[in-house]
Amino acid sequence: MSKHLKASDCRRWVIKIGSALLTDNGRGLAVGGIDGWVEQIADLRKQGREMLLVSSGAVAEGMTRLGWTRRPHALHELQAAAAVGQMGLIQAYESRFQKYGLHTAQVLLTHDDLADRQRYLNARSTLRTLLRLGVVPVVNENDTVATEEIRFGDNDTLAALVANLVEADLLVLLTDQAGVYDKDPRRDAQASLLTEAQAGDAALESMAGDTGGVLGRGGMLTKVRAAARAARSGTLTVIASGKEENILQRLASGEELGTRLFPASAPLAARKQWLAGRLQVRGHLTLDDGAITVLRAAGRSLLPVGVTRVEGDFDRGDLVVCYGPGGEEAARGLVNYSAEESRRIIGQPSHRIEELLGYVDEPELIHRDNLVLMG
């Protein structure tokens, strides 16, 4: 990944806006601020960019509606505040995006949704479909049903995982600071802003503070760690001040603002490493010569028609290895159908999937975005 890559080069954006930027000092949602964010996102949509918003503010809004001045520690109280506040948050976004002719979609996730491979793929398919339809997904942690074990802990982490999920080109983490400093600027007047660094650099964590605000859970440390997570799928991260006027439009125009944290490897290499080294192989597919040629020469998805044999017992979302007719390993990928379903559709054109299974989930056995060539 080139250090010269800018936000202006990126098409698919994940934007995370924190509680400090969305709430009026604990007195409910900052309506004027939300108007500004929506206007900028709508403008970038018109430019042809795909925009996905990870928004804090539900708990803070719920606290205001319930008359609470301090963030509760009890999980059931946090869940209650989130349930109440989510109504106001989504209403605020929906009404404002409608002014620009844009639809929004509420997407609530838990860590468990992304840890389970089948639910991961379901969430991924839904988000990618929404983006293709021109909808702006508004994502938040599902605080209402989450437990201590499966809560993300902060929306910076959630935003990074969503960036992995949709293979975003850019993750923008907006905060109340100008970016990452070599020292805490609130305590040291000599602190210098870092304009760029490599995501995952251990030195960044020692520079970042670990204290969040009263209403939010995240601090600069969570943002630095989120950038490292996002880098796994080749995503560039920008940590910048949401108080800068027209910050998103200025980033899109090529202006270098905040701190740019770039991944060490390109998206394909990062995803190949993830697929090849982080998941247990559950099954094997044997492909015909035509399928091998299409995968290697054209970089296309694997369709059922090009598969001649299925081995193993796997479920949707599991990792399978694809072999050529001679037994050589050709590719690895996340399969869209179970082993039983795959055996029923291999060798058949995609338009027969619904006829053979009674339903169709995806036309591909393995989508090209979930497939990496080996060797």
pLDDT of 72 reads 83
Which has more pLDDT, 43 or 124? 43
Which has more pLDDT, 86 or 203? 86
Q: Can you tell me the mean pLDDT for 298-325?
A: 93
Looking at the fold, whether 157 and 302 belong to one and the same domain comes out as no
Please check whether residue 1 lies inside any domain of the structure.
no
Q: Are 282 and 312 in contact (CB under 8 A)?
A: yes
Q: What percent of the chain has pLDDT over 70?
A: 88
CATH code of the domain in which 20 resides: 3.40.1160.10
Please check whether residue 274 lies inside any domain of the structure.
no
Looking at the fold, whether 230 and 104 belong to one and the same domain comes out as yes
Q: Which residues pair with 23 in a beta bridge?
A: 29
CA distance 115 to 357: 27
Out of 20-29, 160-169, 205-214, 266-275, least confident range: 205-214
Looking at the fold, whether 122 and 53 belong to one and the same domain comes out as yes
Looking at the fold, whether 106 and 228 belong to one and the same domain comes out as yes
Please check whether residue 219 lies inside any domain of the structure.
yes
Q: What pLDDT band is residue 268 in, cutting at 50, 70 and 90? A: low
Looking at the fold, whether 293 and 256 belong to one and the same domain comes out as no
pLDDT of 20 reads 78
Per-residue pLDDT tens digits for 174-226? 988 888 888 777 777 778 889 898 888 888 877 776 544 433 444 788 899 89
Domain boundary among 265, 297, 321: 265
Out of 151-160, 335-344, 359-368, least confident range: 151-160
Out of 118-132, 265-279, 338-352, least confident range: 265-279
Which has more pLDDT, 248 or 69? 248
Looking at the fold, whether 114 and 194 belong to one and the same domain comes out as yes
Domain boundary among 199, 234, 265: 265
Please check whether residue 49 lies inside any domain of the structure.
yes
Looking at the fold, whether 226 and 283 belong to one and the same domain comes out as no
pLDDT of 15 reads 97
Please check whether residue 2 lies inside any domain of the structure.
no
3-state secondary structure of 164: helix
Looking at the fold, whether 259 and 288 belong to one and the same domain comes out as no
Looking at the fold, whether 292 and 257 belong to one and the same domain comes out as no
pLDDT of 215 reads 39
Residues 6+ apart with CB under 8 A from 82: 58, 59, 62, 143, 144
Please check whether residue 127 lies inside any domain of the structure.
yes
Q: Answer whether residue 151 shows pLDDT above 70.
A: no
> For residue 21, what are the domain limits?
7-265
Please check whether residue 355 lies inside any domain of the structure.
yes
Looking at the fold, whether 121 and 232 belong to one and the same domain comes out as yes
Domain boundary among 210, 230, 265: 265
Q: What pLDDT band is residue 306 in, cutting at 50, 70 and 90? A: very high
Query: How many domains, the chain?
Result: 2
Looking at the fold, whether 246 and 366 belong to one and the same domain comes out as no
Please check whether residue 368 lies inside any domain of the structure.
yes
CATH code of the domain in which 345 resides: 2.30.130.10
pLDDT of 217 reads 42
- Average pLDDT of the chain to the nearest whole number: 86
Q: Residue ranges of the alpha helices (H) in the chain?
A: 19-22, 31-46, 58-66, 75-98, 111-115, 117-132, 155-166, 202-207, 220-231, 247-252, 267-277, 289-293, 339-345, 353-357
Looking at the fold, whether 283 and 256 belong to one and the same domain comes out as no
